[in-house]
Amino acid sequence: MMKRRAILTVVLVLISVFCAGVIVTKIRKPSRSTFHIAFNEWAGFAPFFLAKEKGYFGDLPVELHFVASESDKRAGLHNGRFQMICETMDMFQNGRSAVPYPGRIVFAVDESFGGDGVVAAKGIQSLKDLKGRVAVSEPGQASHLVLQYLLRKEGMTLKDVKLREMESSDAAAAFVAGKADVAATYEPYLGNALQKRPGSHLLVSSKDLPGLIVDVAIVSDKTLQTRASDVARIYAGWCKAVEFLEKNRAEAIAVMAKPFKMTPKNFEGSASGLRYFSRQRNTELFGSESKPGAIQETFKMIGEILLANGLTRAVDTPASKIDLSVVATPMP
């Protein structure tokens, strides 16, 4: 009799433990899916690492990936490997064969502010003088868009110059050697070209063209529909990181330099030609439904430039590709 009672007691204890486990399992908060963000190895994206280090994404697990290939970023966004990619607006529109194409711009990350530009030989004093000249540039780089923008101002396209496509470092070297009249490139090659070729001058810098070369955060329509709160959390984390950078620059730079395997001093140099977008600047850039911001017109203009130069076959509208809801979301 005592033995049966002992066995019964053990059974009841096991049942109670099992039930407790079931209850705990049921009430335990489900883990959140990881949010993957892809971008190339560029200092403009460094605050994402700062936000992750400081815990500004909250309980949302975030993984950051360096991805150099544009096709890999696009494929990853389309198949769900990446929930967000970051790149310039011209890169986002480049090489499209039809509309609609995947992706919606949800906030701005950084902009080139002196880091890209076009240098010209002594004999070129105005934009009209570019016609028929030898120009060197690297397709896909921001400076290549700057060159196209300059030509557009005088009603010209790349067909109106003798374009030689090459890497940006080689473009600067060709210009210094006198093999080109104009070179579109970026720092430090931009500054070196100016110093080494006598009589050369800076035709234009991205500092003179605010809002043109802007890196943006892009998500798929599915991510925006099913994970809107997570996208908002990423944006909030970004804004907090930029705010921390503004108030604690030395500490922030030390954190941001590590993923790029740079010293803080070298990182400062690489980031000297850019500006990060804060919450306020994003609000100004995106505007609202009733009062659209400058990004709408800039996106449209870039599409027209790419189409005129044969770099894309299809251009979508700003309304289809720019979402205003994330920037308008109140900070948590």
Low-confidence ranges of the chain (pLDDT < 50): 1-30
Q: Going by C-beta distance under 8 Å and a sequence separation of 6 or more, which residues neighbour residue 55?
A: none
Which stretches within the chain are classed as H helix? 2-27, 47-54, 70-79, 89-93, 142-153, 168-176, 189-196, 221-226, 228-247, 249-257, 264-270, 279-286, 294-308, 318-321, 325-328
Q: So what's the pLDDT on residue 189?
A: 94
Answer whether the bond into residue 30 is a cis peptide, omega within 30°. Answer: no
Tell me the pLDDT of the chain averaged across its residues.
Answer: 91
Q: Please name the residue that has the structure tokens 């004999």.
A: 123
> For helices 47-54 and 228-247, what crossing angle results, to 10°?
100
Domains and CATH numbers, the chain: 35-112+213-328 (3.40.190.10), 116-208 (3.40.190.10)
Span 55-93, pLDDT tens digits: 999 999 999 999 999 999 999 999 999 999 999 999 999
Q: What is the pLDDT of residue 178?
A: 96
pLDDT at 330: 85
The DSSP 8-state label assigned to residue 224 in this structure reads: H
Q: Report if pTM > 0.85.
A: yes
According to the model, what pLDDT value does residue 31 have?
58
Residue 7, pLDDT score:
42
